[in-house]
Structure 1
Amino acid sequence: MFATRFAPSPTGRLHKGHAFSALTAWSAAKAAGGRFVLRIEDIDPTRCKPEHEAAILEDLAWLGLDWETPVRRQSDHLSDYAAVIDDLNRRGLIYRCFRTRKEVLASIGDAPHGEMEAVRPGPHPREEEARLMAENRPFAWRLSLDRAREALGESLWNGLSFVEEGAGPAGETGVLPVRPEAAGDVVLARKDAGVAYHLAVAHDDALQGIDHVIRGEDLFEATHVQRLIQTLLGWPAPVYRHHRLLTGPDGRRYAKRDQSVTLAELRAGGLTAEALRAELGFSSVD
């Protein structure tokens, strides 16, 4: 059965861009007679707030959307992700990285062969790692591309692909090759949350039976990393559909960090849900 999702992070109020993405996924599920899942991706303990989560539910209900219950809140399931990290560690596919963000950025600037190689810092020497562990220094778990490639074998590694039903930023569509090297040795778990974005998303899409991932084209590159994770862990591959990003009158895409006008502010100003849906190209929620 067709199943898709809308997975916001409760770090602020929703804006028009979120409404467009949610309506795109919800409408696709309704048209296919499938499932629409709402997932709260709240693994950032410093930015995610309960009041923002409540506001998300309020805004989506105002738009006229419905979804399956109960809603999965990622922070309630950190043990699920920890079990996956333990499995990857036993298989030798990840390594501890004690480098700070500043140190990693500095290494990118110093890299002689460009950023792609610079974001693959590699494991610390054993003696250094033991010393840092003894000092109780915080670390992140990074996925080793070298070990992943060895585990999969050259044939499977070179044959990794995903199906894109929409269009990437450069118009890419159809069966596309996976390029995990572009992201380097990505972080799969952080000291403050116990998990990072790519692993949590890939895990939950598999767990919740999401077979169509519908999201903005700004997440197109994330697909390469997530397909590698899915393959390493034997999880199914969804079909992907990356939609265009909504932009404001100034031509810039709507974003929380730019303090875009929120749905709550539009609602307070008298805009109706029907009018907003029509503006975004969704005339009905029937």
Structure 2
Amino acid sequence: MQVADTTAKPNPDITIVRFAPSPNGLLHLGHARSALLNWRFAKRSGARFLLRIEDIDTTRARPEFEQAIFEDLSWLGLDWPEPVRRQSDHFDDYRAALVELRKLGLLYPAFMSRAEVTSHVRVYEQNGRVWPRDPDGAPHYPAVDQGLAEAERNRRIDAGDPHSWRLDMQAALDGLTSQEGETVSLTWQEDGQGPDGETGKVVADPGVWGDVVLARRDVPASYHLAVTVDDALQAITTVIRGQDLFASTSVHRLLQSLLGLPAPIYRHHSLVRDGSGRKLSKSHGDIALAELRAKGLSPADVSAMAGLDALE
């Protein structure tokens, strides 16, 4: 059977990159590396550099962290056009994408809690069997709710039962055919490098993620859905981001294909790590750019600490 290639073919007339932090903590050296790589790439190539605030999770986003993002990036010497896109201003865009996926029959409400999933997996693995897990180590969601009748789903939703909306991954993969009925091969152009040295044309493998969450009752879109929609609406042609998101690109390519959205070129870069080899993280309280600035370090010092001298 002939395979149709859906590798990204970006608009050659204009290149647009973006840096998209979440205002749920202070920026650290890892953020500085990614922001500077995007901004310097734009300056060298004549591209547009956009700043996007990914505050889809309004329970964790805080205005003081957003203000700190602006201050840190300005101190580093970056500039960007206004207005900045804030995800919290565009919930309707994500709802529209969810409606399209529901029309395709690819979404279902998932009612199992994390504790219930953990219990289900534990029982399954008691006899030495191995439950599938995604690249982040989380267990795949059990195929428990997919078979619920529509009436039962609606009854539980109307009753206020907590639930998320998940992508039926197998149905999505089964539906990947071209207009000519050919099997579609999802790939992307990698101009950077994956964690294992992947570069060039990379074959996407979204199935390894299982039935990913695309929305929750209190959060109108997951990272996977929001970033896919945002990149398309902002006409992003080159995505420059850390290697920790390399595997996620497979999900984004799938969503782009299902929703008929263009796919950018990707340039994944290595991460800034601490002395133990762990990547820097807000949740671990790694030293913030604001603290480095308060200690008297210069933007050039931070750039060197982020490893950009070796990368340039």
TM-score normalised by the chain length of structure 1: 0.92
The match for 2:59 is 46
CA 88–276 in structure 1, closer or farther in 2 if over 3 Å, else same: same
The match for 1:108 is 121
- Which among 195, 212, 233 is matched to residue 221 of structure 2? 195
Q: What letter matches 1:93 in structure 2?
A: L
Q: What letter matches 1:123 in structure 2?
A: Q
Q: Tell me, in whole angstroms, the C-alpha distance in 2 between the residues paired with 1:70 and 1:139.
A: 34
How much identity, in percent, do the aligned residues show? 48
1:108·1:118 contact (CA, 8 Å) conserved in 2?
A: no
The match for 1:34 is 47
Q: 2:175 is paired with a residue of what secondary structure?
A: helix
The match for 1:176 is 202
The CA RMSD measured in Å over matched residues stands at 1.9
1:14·1:262 contact (CA, 8 Å) conserved in 2?
A: yes
2:232·2:262 contact (CA, 8 Å) conserved in 1?
A: yes
- Give, in angstroms, the shift of residue 106 of structure 1: 3.0
1:135 maps to 2:159: yes
Q: Tell me, in whole angstroms, the C-alpha distance in 2 between the residues paired with 1:108 and 1:220.
A: 26
Q: 1:48 is paired with a residue of what secondary structure?
A: coil
- Give, in angstroms, the shift of residue 251 of structure 1: 3.2
- Give, in angstroms, the shift of residue 105 of structure 1: 3.1
1:107·1:118 contact (CA, 8 Å) conserved in 2?
A: no
After superposition, the C-alpha distances for 1:30-57 in whole angstroms (9 at most, x for unaligned) are 1110011111101112211111001001
Q: Tell me, in whole angstroms, the C-alpha distance in 1 between the residues paired with 2:182 and 2:45.
A: 32
Superposition map of 1:170-249 within 5 A = 170-249=196-275
- Give, in angstroms, the shift of residue 158 of structure 1: 5.1
Q: 1:205 is paired with a residue of what secondary structure?
A: helix
Structure with greater contact order relative to length (CA < 8 Å, sep ≥ 6):
2
1:66 maps to 2:79: yes
Q: Tell me, in whole angstroms, the C-alpha distance in 2 between the residues paired with 1:258 and 1:230.
A: 33
The match for 1:87 is 100
CA 118–273 in structure 1, closer or farther in 2 if over 3 Å, else same: closer
TM-score normalised by the chain length of structure 2: 0.85
- Which among 78, 89, 100 is matched to residue 76 of structure 1? 89
After superposition, the C-alpha distances for 1:102-132 in whole angstroms (9 at most, x for unaligned) are 2233333344552158435351411542431
- Give, in angstroms, the shift of residue 156 of structure 1: 5.8
The total of aligned residue pairs comes to 283
2:30·2:306 contact (CA, 8 Å) conserved in 1?
A: no
Runs of 5+ in structure 2 lacking a partner? Answer: 1-13, 134-138
Q: 1:115 is paired with a residue of what secondary structure?
A: coil
Runs of 5+ in structure 1 lacking a partner? Answer: none
